């Protein structure tokens, strides 16, 4: 199980590095081509936007476990330990319901927009909008494991990476 999680984490990190690098390089090329040549890039904006959309959705669950989603913890933490656990459990369940609704309607949304094509890339928007189904599912799995099942997925050393 632990091995599987490490594999998953390595994969997500790899995609994170790749996606960020693509946005960086394409952003640089966009400036270069417009300023230095007579042929501005037409597709660069759209590529950056869509890569970023997929990137943040793929990383959302991992970001949750890296404690990047902040809340107002002051009051809750004053309560005794078991009460905190119960509240977090309830919050977790409600959150998973929300994410489930987004994933379900996200799939519906992606399907209903399949006939639209991106304006400069020859891609159906289905493939772009699918991200809003995948991201919430990954997030829900992380919330399930951490708040409902009670496992902490990220070593404390990584918690203050911001």
Partner 1 sequence: MSWLAGFFVVTLLAGMPIAFVLGVSALGYFYFTDQTQFLLVLPQRMVAGMDHFVLLAIPLFVLAGNIMDVGGLTRRLVGAANSVVGRFRGGLSLTAIWGAFLFGGVSGSAAADAAALGTVLVPDMKRQGYDVDYSAALIAVSSLMAPLVPPSIAMIIYGALSGTSISQLFIAGIVPGVLLACVLSIYAVWTAHRHGYPRTEALPLRRILRGFGEAAPILLLPVIIVGGIRGGIFTATEAAAIAAIYALLVSGLVYRALNWTFLRQAFVSTALITSAIYVLVAVANILAFIFAIERVPQMVVETLTTITDNPVLILLMVNLILLVLGMFLDTIGVLILTVPALTAIGQTLGLDPVHLGVMVIFNVLIGFVTPPVGLCLFIISAVTGRPVEKVSIRALPMLGLALCVLLLITFVPQVVLAVPNLIGGAH
Partner 2 sequence: DPVSLRLGHAVFEAHPNHDTAARFKEAVERISGGDVTIDIYPARQLGDVKELMEGVQFGTVDMTVNSATALATLEPSINAFQLPGVIPDYAGFAELAVSDEARAIMDTLDKHGMIALGLYDGGQRHFLTVGEPVEEFAQMKGKKTRVPPAKLFVDIWQAVGVNPTPMNYGEVYSALETSTLDAVEINLTSIESEKFYEVAGGVTLTGHYFWPSFLLINKARFDGLTEEQQAAIREAANEIVEPQVMAVAELDETVKANLADREIPVIEPSASFMEDFNAAVAPVIESYSQDPLIADFVAAASASGAQ
Contacting residues toward partner 1, per CB under 8 A: 13, 16-17, 19-21, 23-24, 27-28, 30-31, 35, 45, 48-50, 52-53, 55-57, 59-60, 62-64, 66, 68-77, 87-88, 90-91, 94-95, 97-99, 101-102, 105-106, 108-109, 112, 128-129, 131-133, 135, 139, 160-162
46 binds partner 2 (CB under 8 A): yes
Q: How far is the CB of 89 from partner 1 (least distance, A)?
A: 11
36 binds partner 2 (CB under 8 A): no
Backbone torsions φ then ψ of 64, nearest 5 degrees: -60, -45
Assigned token pair, 111: 């399907």
Select the binding partner of residue 131 from partner 1, partner 2, none (C-beta < 5 to 8 A, by kind). partner 1
Query: Do 85 and 146 contact (CB within 8 A), yes or no?
Result: no
CB-based contacts of 57, cutoff 8 Å, min separation 6: 131, 132, 134, 135, 138
Query: Do 100 and 148 contact (CB within 8 A), yes or no?
Result: no
CB-based contacts of 123, cutoff 8 Å, min separation 6: 117
DSSP state of 148: I
The footprint of partner 2 on residues 62-121 (CB under 8 A) is 112-113, 115-120
Select the binding partner of residue 22 from partner 1, partner 2, none (C-beta < 5 to 8 A, by kind). none
HSE-up of residue 95 (Cα within 13 Å, Cβ side): 22
Residue from 40, 104, 151, 158 binding partner 2 (CB under 8 A): 40
Query: Do 44 and 26 contact (CB within 8 A), yes or no?
Result: yes
Which residues here bind partner 2, judged by CB under 8 A?
34, 38-40, 42, 45-46, 112-113, 115-120
């Amino acid at each position: 199980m632990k091995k599987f999680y490490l594999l998953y984490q390595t994969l997500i990190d790899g995609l994170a590095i790749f996606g960020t690098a693509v946005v960086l390089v394409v952003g640089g090329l966009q400036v270069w081509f417009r300023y230095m040549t007579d042929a501005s890039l037409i597709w660069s904006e759209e590529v950056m936007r869509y890569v970023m959309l997929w990137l943040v959705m793929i990383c959302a669950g991992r970001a949750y476990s890296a404690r990047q989603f902040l809340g107002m913890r002051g009051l809750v933490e004053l309560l005794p330990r078991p009460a905190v656990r119960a509240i977090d459990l309830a919050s977790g369940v409600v959150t998973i319901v929300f994410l489930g609704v987004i994933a379900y309607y996200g799939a519906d949304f992606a399907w209903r927009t399949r006939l639209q094509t991106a304006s400069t890339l020859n891609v159906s928007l289905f493939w772009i909008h699918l991200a809003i189904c995948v991201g919430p599912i990954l997030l829900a799995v992380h919330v399930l494991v951490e708040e409902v099942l009670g496992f902490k997925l990220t070593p404390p050393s990584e918690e203050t990476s911001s």
